[in-house]
Amino acid sequence: MAESKLTEEQIIADIVDRYESDEGMLIPMMQDLQADCGYLPVDQLRRLAGRLDVPLSRLYAVATFYSSFRLAPKGLHEVTLCVGTVCYLKGAGQIAERISKEFQVEAGGTTPDGLFTFQPVNCVGACALAPVMIVDGKYHDGVSPDSAMEILRGLPAEDEAAETEAEA
Amino acid sequence: MTVVESKRLCSPSDLANRREGLLKSSSRSARSVRVCIGTGCAAKGSRRVYDLFTQAARETDARVLAVKCVGCHGFCQRGPIVVIQPGDPSTALGAGVFYQQVEEPDVAEIFRETVLGGRVVERLLYEDPATGERARTADGIPFYKAQQRIVLAGNGVIDPTSIDDYIGADGYSALAKALTTMTPEQVLQEVERSGLRGRGGGGFPTGRKWRSCRNAPGMPKYVICNGDEGDPGAFMDRSIMEGNPHLVLEGMILGAYAIGSSQGYIYVRNEYPLAVEHLRQAIGQAREWGLLGEEILGTEFSFDIRINRGGGAFVCGESTALMASLEGRPGEPRAKYVHTVEHGLHDKPTNLNNVETWANVPAIINRGGEWFASIGTGKSTGTKVFSLVGDVVNTGLVEVPMGITLRRIIEEIGGGVQGGKAFKAVQTGGPSGGCIPAQHLDAEVDFDQLTKLGSMMGSGGMIVMDEDTCMVNIARYFLNFLRDESCGKCTPCREGLAQMVAILDRITHGEGEAGDVERLQAMAVLLEGTALCALGKTAANPALSTIRYFRDEYDAHILEKRCPAKECRGLFRYAIDAEACKACGLCKKHCPVDAISGEKKVLHVIDQEKCTLCGTCFEKCPFDAVLKV
Amino acid sequence: MPTVTIDGVKVEVETGATILDAARKAGLWIPTLCYHPAVSPPATCRVCMVELDRGDWKQLVTACNYPVRRDITVSVSSERAVRARAGVMQLLLARAPENEDLKAMARRMGVEGTPYPTVTVSQRDCILCGLCTAVCDEVLGCAAIGFSGRGQDRAVSPPFRQPSEDCIACGACAAVCPVGTIQIRIHEEEGEIEISPFKARVKLLTCEACGERVVSLPVSEEALKRAKIDWEEFRRLARLCPKCRRRGAAARLAKSSSAT
């Protein structure tokens, strides 16, 4: 049975209802929206601003102030590298440099081929496992520049993922 | 087995009866397996271990065994941690067999030997690296021995997803006591008597804050739990929120009762998804049981809590920025000339406290403010949870009475510096704090002592640094961090931090100029006086404290273009160790400027004139024969 | 009514008035950049720092938004306060070294140049004071522009850096900008107002009363010059063409003269 996809308006309506139109919950609302689309599309933000009767400039301010928000589509995979003090002491700086260099991606950006979005963060609270890299929600502890490269090189690209699905 | 119609507890005696029932019930088994699923252990695969134990238990007599997941024990480095309890499940962590670094293949053996057979699997016990002794229980592990776990008492013992477990462990008894035998004023006085000071970094007397909020005109009043633990290296609050969420709720309900609030918020960092999940579950359970919401435990007191998540901004740990975020705006701090206890969230009287502060309240109500004040020092009472991390042998969360020395924490509990290297400094208080050198290791840890030494307690982060750490680079790291996290609203923080980072960048790249140290110090004074919030005001501390204790390193960088710790690229040389060199030719092959001479079997030598200090030979040498000099 | 002793001069002020109010009453000059009577003080520039006597210690506070609730003693000319203000101005000069308004204020403060190199780059000397965004939001109720980004990336812009649909081209932002960053250019032929540096072009307003295409810029300039601003009036007039404004004024005058 075919699933009916929610229209964009419905997605916004749902989110606003979920938080009872409380504009104090704007950040959780935008997080839910981003969880849905992978990023924050301009049109959706416009709709949200309209529904809440909040100026669009405020949504833009919030979207650009907090590090977790993205205004552009993210890559196929999400790579988070902790650059908190302990991870930094254990070499996270070198790992970040290596990732940027090899995959041609800036902090907060996406690789040119759209394989992954690279987001350094300031401490994920797993300091005993430093350095920590989180790929698609999975934690990798004690990574080195070499082991990080291995993990990232092994990330499946879209075609491969679709092929394996078809085979299954 | 009778089916209970509604879980709702309509009176304190209901609660007491429920507790008794839980302790007696037949689901209390002979043996229990406690698998830690905190973020640290989960990252190493503990959930899979939990699943395997659950599976094994299913194939056995359920009356004999219970498998449950527990929260962070604090010794994440040794995870996954599994504790096998012999019998009475309400016993503290100390009585069970403590297994560490448990992997999937180990589950079968543990199940067969320990759970069913009552025998110990030696190789999975903790082994003291210094003595080689194995410890059977947590009590026997030096990391835990010197600790006094009050706030963390439930961590590792109760299942954070089960309100039953919390109630069975005396949970919500403080709330019942307060609602039936104490007035709000009496609850407030108990907290005042305890001398509890804010555990988030400010160290402000909690009782005094509560009283100011209680006295402030205006309704409604709000209570907020600051779960935006942003100091890198600190994960105490994560562990408490994940491992014992009901403890935080109980503390907040007690506070709301004392202050006269009916609405609370918990603001959790976006980077702590498990904490959000466990808190959300706990709130749902508490509401179901009548411990949150209307007419709590059948009394006239009503209070509810909402969870809000951060969006990824360190500055939101600052109370006015947090409140702005709770109002759906960017997390920009505002002036505190009018205190938030008078005009806070939505301009109403608001009491904000840190997670650990709230977590201390139930024990204070149950055992009395005087009991709490008997622990610690005169002006810093109670215990504090520290996150001991970095170049230390035993990494993890440590709860100790205030007044214990740095040395005891780092050497006795922490096991000293990793790799037998020399201790250089311990950084405390996060980016607003400072570095404390070896000569002050016997300092007593409390709010005032650490401040006197040029640092601060902060939220409890303690990062140990060894002799190979460049202290100038540490200052650069923290200032860079703050510059990235600055909200950018006020001139001194936004422009001043950029200036300081520019100076430190120069210094660590060999372009330091005479007068740079004085420039940094002058900027520190300007920031402290003119910045709008505490982030800006204290931002220069990492630079100031390293200048105070490691001035020689700054001078070496600036005047000699040399990094004594051999960390800053380009500020130290490489040389080949004649004894270790095997003349394999690898370094020579990779040298981009042909600065290495030597043939196969002939000692290789680096021509210092040609060398560009790129470090490639150092990375490539398979025999560690290239040394930093 | 509390008394403020400011540099030795005693003045009485209403409870809740600011130290800046007290200073003006006392005839003392304190430099300000982000302060404007039309909006709630952003308190972002930090150039108005003064020293507040707290008995056993002295606290540096911003004069523009420190509320007076009891008798206090303040020093504007203490060495520490002067140095603090000078330091802030030097940081601003480093950010925008060619800006004439800043240089003029610096001269008045006795600040000679800046020892700091330029390490942050701004759009057209913007000092991020927030007056433009505040007036657009609080006074006009449009919120057509706002802040974006954080820290060094903080900037004033319309949402998504696209011309804002909420802009009514009243020019209030240009009128309050303390350093002349915002410039208005009227393009008669295209019927547009260009507000830079927002790279936005806004169609000229249509007069609410007669439908004529109108420029509301002169309205705001006039209104903001007045000492006491009637904000209701301002909002209403911003949407009328000059003819209709005059007609309205004439009608009001006729009404009041017939009443006598």
Specify the CATH number for the domain of residue C47. Answer: 3.10.20.740
Positions of CATH 3.40.30.10 in chain A: 77-162
Report the distance separating Cα B70 and Cα B76, nearest Å.
13
Percent of chain A at pLDDT exceeding 90 = 67
Contact by Cβ (8 Å): C193, C169: yes
Decide if C36 is inside a domain: yes
Q: Which H, E and C letters describe chain A, residue by residue?
A: CCCCCCCHHHHHHHHHHHCCCCHHHHHHHHHHHHHHHCCCCHHHHHHHHHHHCCCHHHHHHHHHHCCCCCCCCCCCEEEEEECCHHHHHCCHHHHHHHHHHHHCCCCCCECCCCCEEEEEECCCCCHHHCCCEEECCEEECCCCHHHHHHHHHCCCCHHHHHHHHHHC
Decide if C159 is inside a domain: yes
* B330/A126 Cβ within 8 A: no
| pLDDT at residue number B57 | 87
Structure tokens at B464: 């140990």
Confidence of residue C8 (pLDDT cuts 50, 70, 90): very high
CA distance B330 to chain C (A): 9
| pLDDT at residue number B589 | 86
The whole-number mean pLDDT for each consecutive block of 10 residues of chain B, a chain of 629 residues, reads 68 91 68 89 93 89 77 90 76 71 94 85 90 89 92 93 93 96 98 97 96 97 97 94 97 98 96 94 96 95 96 95 97 95 97 98 98 96 96 94 96 93 96 96 95 94 96 96 96 97 97 97 98 96 97 97 93 90 87 85 87 85 90
> A69 to chain C: nearest residue by CA?
C149
Query: Which among A42, A61, A71 is the nearest to C146, CB-wise?
Result: A61
Confidence of residue C242 (pLDDT cuts 50, 70, 90): low
Query: Which among B338, B488, B522 is the nearest to C151, CB-wise?
Result: B488
B partners (3+ CB pairs within 8 A) are A, C
DSSP three-state, residue B351: strand
Task: Please say which residue of C77, C109, C141 terminates a domain.
Answer: C109
Query: Which among B335, B338, B486 is the nearest to C151, CB-wise?
Result: B486
Residues C138 and C95 reside in one and the same domain: no
Q: Which H, E and C letters describe chain C, residue by residue?
A: CCEEEECCEEEECCCCCEHHHHHHHCCCCCCCCCCCCCCCCCCCCCCCEEEEECCCCEEEEECCCCECCCCEEEECCCHHHHHHHHHHHHHHHHHCCCCHHHHHHHHHHCCCCCCCCCCCCCCCCCCCCCHHHHHHHHHCCCCCCEEECCHHHCEEECHHHCCCCCCCCCCHHHHHCCCCCCEEEEECCCCEEEEECCCEEEECEECCCCCCEECCHHHHHHHHHCCCCCHHHHHHHCCCCHHHHHHHHHHHHHHHHHHC
Residue with tokens 């100026």: A55
* C143/A57 Cβ within 8 A: yes
Partners of residue C148 in chain A, C-beta under 8 Å: 60-61, 64-65
Report the distance separating Cα B299 and Cα B420, nearest Å.
59
When the candidates are 2.60.120.330, 1.10.1660.10, 1.20.1440.230, 2.40.110.10, the CATH number that belongs to B471-559 is 1.20.1440.230
Cβ of C45 under 8 Å from any chain B Cβ? yes
* C151/B494 Cβ within 8 A: yes
pLDDT of residue C25 exceeding 70: yes
Query: In the CATH scheme, what is the code of domain A77-162?
Result: 3.40.30.10
CA distance C230 to chain B (A): 26
Range of the domain at C250: 131-259
Residues C8 and C93 reside in one and the same domain: yes
Per-residue model confidence as pLDDT tens digits over A103-148: 999 988 899 999 999 999 988 888 888 899 999 989 999 999 999 9
* C91/B492 Cβ within 8 A: yes
Partners of residue B469 in chain A, C-beta under 8 Å: 89
Partners of residue A54 in chain B, C-beta under 8 Å: 328
* A122/B43 Cβ within 8 A: no
Q: Can you point out the beta strands (E) in B278-403?
A: 304-309, 350-354, 383-390, 396-401
Structure tokens at A91: 């070499």
Decide if C33 is inside a domain: yes
Residues C98 and C138 reside in one and the same domain: no
Residues C100 and C20 reside in one and the same domain: yes
Report the distance separating Cα A44 and Cα A27, nearest Å.
14
Cβ of C46 under 8 Å from any chain B Cβ? yes
Residues C230 and C163 reside in one and the same domain: yes
Beta pairing partners, B597: B605
The residue of A45, A59, A64, A71 whose CB has the most chain C CBs within 10 angstroms, and thus the best one to mutate to test that interface, is: A64
- Please give the mean pLDDT across all residues of chain C: 86
Cβ of C117 under 8 Å from any chain B Cβ? yes
Topology (CATH) of B574-628: Alpha-Beta Plaits (3.30.70)
Neighbours of C232 (CB within 10 A): 8
| pLDDT at residue number A5 | 64
Decide if C166 is inside a domain: yes
Check residues A165 and B520 and name the one with the higher pLDDT: B520
Residues C102 and C136 reside in one and the same domain: no
* C67/B492 Cβ within 8 A: no
Partners of residue A71 in chain C, C-beta under 8 Å: 160
Decide if C125 is inside a domain: no
| pLDDT at residue number A167 | 45
Report the distance separating Cα B358 and Cα B349, nearest Å.
18
Residues C94 and C154 reside in one and the same domain: no
Partners of residue A59 in chain C, C-beta under 8 Å: 159
- How many B×C Cβ pairs under 8 Å? 94
CATH class of B163-373: alpha beta
| pLDDT at residue number C161 | 85
Residues C33 and C98 reside in one and the same domain: yes
Residue with tokens 């007076």: C68
Residues of chain A numbered 43-62 and touching chain C (CB < 8 Å): 55-61
pLDDT of residue A2 exceeding 50: no
CA distance C8 to chain B (A): 22
Per-residue model confidence as pLDDT tens digits over A87-103: 998 899 999 999 999 99
> B499 to chain C: nearest residue by CA?
C119
Domain B383-466 is found in CATH 1.10.260.40: no
Q: Can you point out the beta strands (E) in B48-199?
A: 65-70, 82-85, 97-99, 126-127, 134-135
Contact by Cβ (8 Å): B479, B508: no
* B313/A66 Cβ within 8 A: yes
Per-residue model confidence as pLDDT tens digits over C115-164: 999 998 877 799 999 999 999 999 888 899 999 999 999 999 899 988 88
Decide if C114 is inside a domain: no
Q: Is the dihedral of CA B318, B319, B320, B324 positive or negative?
A: positive
CA distance C168 to chain A (A): 14
* B391/A25 Cβ within 8 A: no
Cβ of A72 under 8 Å from any chain C Cβ? no
Structure tokens at A38: 């992978």
Partners of residue B325 in chain A, C-beta under 8 Å: 27
- Which residues are within 8 A (CB) of C107 and not within 5 positions of it... i.e. 6 or more apart? none
Residues C91 and C158 reside in one and the same domain: no
| pLDDT at residue number C149 | 95
Domain residue limits, chain B: 29-88+97-136, 163-373, 383-466, 471-559, 574-628
Query: In the CATH scheme, what is the code of domain B29-88+97-136?
Result: 3.40.30.10
Q: pTM to 2 decimals?
A: 0.91
DSSP three-state, residue B120: coil
pLDDT of residue C15 exceeding 90: yes
Contact by Cβ (8 Å): B596, B545: no
Partners of residue C179 in chain B, C-beta under 8 Å: none
Q: What is the CA radius of gyration of chain A?
A: 18
* C147/A61 Cβ within 8 A: yes
Helix B491-508 / helix B551-559 crossing angle, nearest 10 deg: 70
Cβ of B485 under 8 Å from any chain A Cβ? yes
Residues C194 and C87 reside in one and the same domain: no
